């Protein structure tokens, strides 16, 4: 037993030493440089140089110790809650009803005589003589009696009976709920804590030796000198500048591949060619002038007259030829949604819509096979028959980064029908 234990410790010690030596042999991993930043000015010239690098790693296998969970038995104490029954007294609030008298006042009426002085009026008249002159030579005096009347006030006492309300008390009773305390008994379950023992299985970690483990370790760093050749006609004005990145996307001992990312450029750049010669990557760029959407050009995006659609081919080889006369703008993207209205005997229309980007249509010179839009083999052979009428709708959806579009989509649509040849 002691010999086995000594042998296990010796093997474990050897594994630990091996792991320590492996750790000491690991080389610090240098920092990669996968992006070459270019800032180009008017006087920068057509050649820009920089460097890129990528780390290569390799796999190595070593023997490492490991730990296992070893079970063992122990006795432990624990507590349990044991129920028991007891009788206890308690008080309970019991409701009961009582009749409580109260006084309520009701309104009655009685007749009372009320007297008051009332002002009235009588007419009093008298005769008065009025004289006046009648013009003439000489004037003649004439007198007449006139009756004059006046309304004279006098006071008279007047009495009458009126109905007068008064309050009369009445005793009534209402039911009220009151409460009293009553003592009662009940049987309840209570618990006491009891200590008990049990045998349980626990685990401890033990280190064993050894098992193979594969690790990825640094091998070497590939370093490249990069030469970026700009087109000779891509000149910049003194107030202009360009920013772009050359990104190392893949590299091994024999090949390397880079991509171009335009950040802020005057021209639209593409990589015309790239070659690797030893530790040098030569990148040749091609450029086209950037065209930005202006206020004057905005209306052309929705002008359906710019979509010219024609038919080419016959039968299942029938093609729609889409010619978009709208100018291309660097800050505008166009997607063409093509819908075909098929008249088939099955009743249910198969999937008959597909979308293409402007770059995709450039590859096919604007030719789109109707079979590629329909996609359903049965519907293709039933619908794309000479003499059939196909109703098509082509919608050019234009969006992009132009501030004039403000995050919206402008559409131009062409709807027509063709008879298949």
Sketch the domain layout of the chain as residue ranges: 98-174, 295-419
Buried b / exposed e over 318-351, threshold 16 CB at 10 Å, is: bbbbbebebeebbebbbebebebebebeeeeebe
Neighbours of 234 (CB within 10 A): 18
CA-nearest of 71, 72, 70, 73 to 208 is 70
- Would you give the DSSP letter of residue 307? E
CA-nearest of 328, 233, 244, 240 to 283 is 244
Helix (H) or strand (E) holding 378: helix 377-383
Instruction: Say how far apart CA 322 and CA 356 lie, in whole Å.
Output: 11
Architecture in CATH of 295-419: Sandwich (2.60)
Residues 236 and 287: beta-carbon distance below 8 Å: no
> What backbone phi and psi angles, to 5 degrees, belong to 175?
-90, 125
Cα-only R_g, the chain: 56
Residue 258, classed as helix, strand or coil, is strand
Residue 371, classed as helix, strand or coil, is helix
Residues 102 and 173: beta-carbon distance below 8 Å: yes
What is the secondary structure of 355-367 as a DSSP string?
EEEHHHHHHTTTE
Per-residue pLDDT of the chain (421 residues; tens, 9 = 90+): 444 455 555 555 555 555 554 454 556 899 999 999 999 998 998 999 999 999 998 889 888 899 999 999 999 999 999 999 999 999 999 999 999 999 999 999 988 888 888 888 888 888 888 888 888 788 888 888 888 888 889 888 888 888 989 899 999 999 999 999 999 999 999 999 999 999 999 999 999 988 998 888 898 999 999 999 999 888 887 888 899 999 999 888 888 999 999 888 878 889 999 999 989 999 999 987 667 788 888 888 999 998 999 999 888 899 999 988 887 787 889 999 999 987 655 555 555 889 999 889 888 888 999 999 988 888 888 888 888 888 999 999 999 888 888 888 999 999 988 888 8
**For residue 108, how far is the Cα from the chain centroid?**
74
| Contacts of residue 2, Cβ cutoff 8 Å, sequence gap at least 6 | none
pTM over 0.75: no
> What backbone phi and psi angles, to 5 degrees, belong to 372?
-70, -25
What is the secondary structure of 266-314 as a DSSP string?
SEEEEEEEEEEETTEEEEEEEEEE-----GGGGGGGG-GGGEEEEEES-
Residues 325 and 350: beta-carbon distance below 8 Å: no
Residues 318 and 295: beta-carbon distance below 8 Å: no
Residues 396 and 411: beta-carbon distance below 8 Å: yes
Class of residue 207 by CB neighbours under 10 A (exposed 0-12, middle 13-18, buried 19+): middle
| pLDDT tens per residue, range 45-61 | 899 999 999 999 888 98
Instruction: Say how far apart CA 8 and CA 24 lie, in whole Å.
Output: 24
Per the listing, tokens 């010619």 go with 323
């Amino acid at each position: 037993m002691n010999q086995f234990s000594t042998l296990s410790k010796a093997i474990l010690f050897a594994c630990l030493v091996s792991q320590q030596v492996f750790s000491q042999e690991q080389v610090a991993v240098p920092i990669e440089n996968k992006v070459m930043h270019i800032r180009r000015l008017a006087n920068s010239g057509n050649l820009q140089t920089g460097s890129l690098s990528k780390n290569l790693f390799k796999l190595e296998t070593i023997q490492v110790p490991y730990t296992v969970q070893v079970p063992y038995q122990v006795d432990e104490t624990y507590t349990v809650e044991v129920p028991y029954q007891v009788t206890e007294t308690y008080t309970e609030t019991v409701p009961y009803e009582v009749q409580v008298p109260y006084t309520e006042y009701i309104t009655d009426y009685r007749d009372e005589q009320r007297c008051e002085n009332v002002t009235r009026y009588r007419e009093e008249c008298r005769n008065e003589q009025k004289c006046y002159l009648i013009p003439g030579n000489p004037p003649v005096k004439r007198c007449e009696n006139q009756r004059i009347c006046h309304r004279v006030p006098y006071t008279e006492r007047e009495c009458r009976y009126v109905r007068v309300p008064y309050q009369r008390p009445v005793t009534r009773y209402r039911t009220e709920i009151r409460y009293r305390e009553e003592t009662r008994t009940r049987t309840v379950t209570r618990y006491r804590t009891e200590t008990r023992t049990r045998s349980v299985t626990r685990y401890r970690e033990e280190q064993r030796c050894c098992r193979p483990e594969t690790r990825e370790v640094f091998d070497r760093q590939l370093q490249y000198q990069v030469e970026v050749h700009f087109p000779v006609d891509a000149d910049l004005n003194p107030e202009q500048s360009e920013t772009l990145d050359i990104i190392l996307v893949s590299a091994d001992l024999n090949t390397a591949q880079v991509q171009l990312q335009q950040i802020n450029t005057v021209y639209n750049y593409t990589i015309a060619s790239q070659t690797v010669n030893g530790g040098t990557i030569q990148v040749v760029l091609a450029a086209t002038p950037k065209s930005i959407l202006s206020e004057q050009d905005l209306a052309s995006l929705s002008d359906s007259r710019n979509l010219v659609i024609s038919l080419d081919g016959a039968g299942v080889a029938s093609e729609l030829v889409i010619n978009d006369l709208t100018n291309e703008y660097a800050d505008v993207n166009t997607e063409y949604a093509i819908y075909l209205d098929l008249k088939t005997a099955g009743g249910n229309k198969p999937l008959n819509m597909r979308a293409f980007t402007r770059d995709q249509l450039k590859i096919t010179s604007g030719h789109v096979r109707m079979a590629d839009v329909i996609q359903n083999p049965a519907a293709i052979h039933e619908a794309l028959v000479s003499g059939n009428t196909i109703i098509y709708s082509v919608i050019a959806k234009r969006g992009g980064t132009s501030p004039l579009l403000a995050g919206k989509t402008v559409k131009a649509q062409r709807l027509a029908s063709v008879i298949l040849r």
